Amino acid sequence: MLGSSSQDSVKNAHRDRSGKVPHWCGCGLRPILRWSGTDSNPERSFYGCSNYNTTGKRWCDFFKWADVEEEEVILVKTIEKYLWDEKLVQLKLKLEY
């Protein structure tokens, strides 16, 4: 198992806001898709360490909401559409003059 300082750096690396789910967690396992059972996030999907909530096994604290990536993709597409719409308006104005 990883030492505590190594574990802390793995935790921080996996908690970034990049939206990408890594292929491996800090335990060297593939993150698995799970669903939250909490009142604050009922049925919300997330990726977590395979060892999480497993009797007798330590886990690396890897956690990432699954819908964060979807939200980022939607935001990028919305911005791209806005930029294309703005460019179209500018081209139409040039044609009128």
Whether residue 71 sits in one domain with residue 32: no
Q: Could you read off the pLDDT of 38-90 as tens digits, one per residue?
A: 999 898 888 989 888 777 888 898 888 888 766 777 778 888 888 998 999 89
Number of separate domains in the chain: 2
pLDDT at residue 75, rounded to an integer: 79
Query: For residue 62, which of 76, 48, 80 has the smallest C-alpha distance?
Result: 48
pLDDT at residue 66, rounded to an integer: 86
Whether residue 93 sits in one domain with residue 49: no
* Structural domain span for residue 80: 67-97
Q: Is the pLDDT of residue 10 over 80?
A: no
C-alpha dist (Å) from residue 8 to 3, 5, 14, 61: 9, 5, 10, 9
pLDDT at residue 4, rounded to an integer: 40
- 30 vs 68, more confident: 30
